[in-house]
Structure 1
């Protein structure tokens, strides 16, 4: 969103036009001050756990979306917005326990419904874990799975909720 604010010796009440807010000011020295404002949102912080082809696709696509992507086994950042687990069952349960404890808004497990249900059962419910992560778009390749996951994340952020 872009906005131009103009402060000057304009007569009348403040008014708005498309992309402009004009406000009169009582300074008798004259002149006009124009301020251009552009909203810049902080990047979404995504933690991708795993070294599978799907995890690598999530990392590459997230970077293409200008998200801040942290791949690998590093601890989850305190301000992470998204945790995606795509490790084919390797070391995923500790990550899926850590993410809810850090109040991560979106936690996704890349797994079939059957394997995902078994993982959630071992986690005593796995509160807040989306499995299978992503929108059901018929994705088959790692890149398509990454697109479906990010589509769900984007949809959640646009609606104000990722969980």
Structure 2
């Protein structure tokens, strides 16, 4: 089996650095992404094909363009990257998550960031970490996540209405 080549390793680290996901050791976001794509913890252990898969994923996250240079102006409330989840999408997702938390029947000990990561893993099949759950999501995945969370809220509303004994017409039904 063909091993990773030095140009691939350099490219993985360069794109990771441009995306701001490199750090110290094997616990940084770049290594977590590599592990999610290949199942291997070390970039040096990748095969040529696995390295190509990691590079493709990183390029998808990068949006096919180089990351913008840092500006001297005040950072946005939510960080975003080209081709990724926008600041507006992130605000909407967090608003929906807080609405879901508000409707919990009993207190939930799980942190909201961890709950969001679980939803992302279940619905989008993408690993996420609570520190930056949107790091590896694309713009369209952000839209999908918003719709999923809206569906969760609608389901909760239906359950609440059923437990109250109130029958409300379903808005999705067409008159027959």
Does the alignment reach a TM-score above 0.5?
Answer: no
Greater C-alpha radius of gyration: 1
Which of the two has greater helix per residue? 2
TM-score normalized with structure 1 length? 0.23
The normalised TM-score by structure 2 is 0.22
Greater share of strand residues, 1 or 2?
Answer: 1
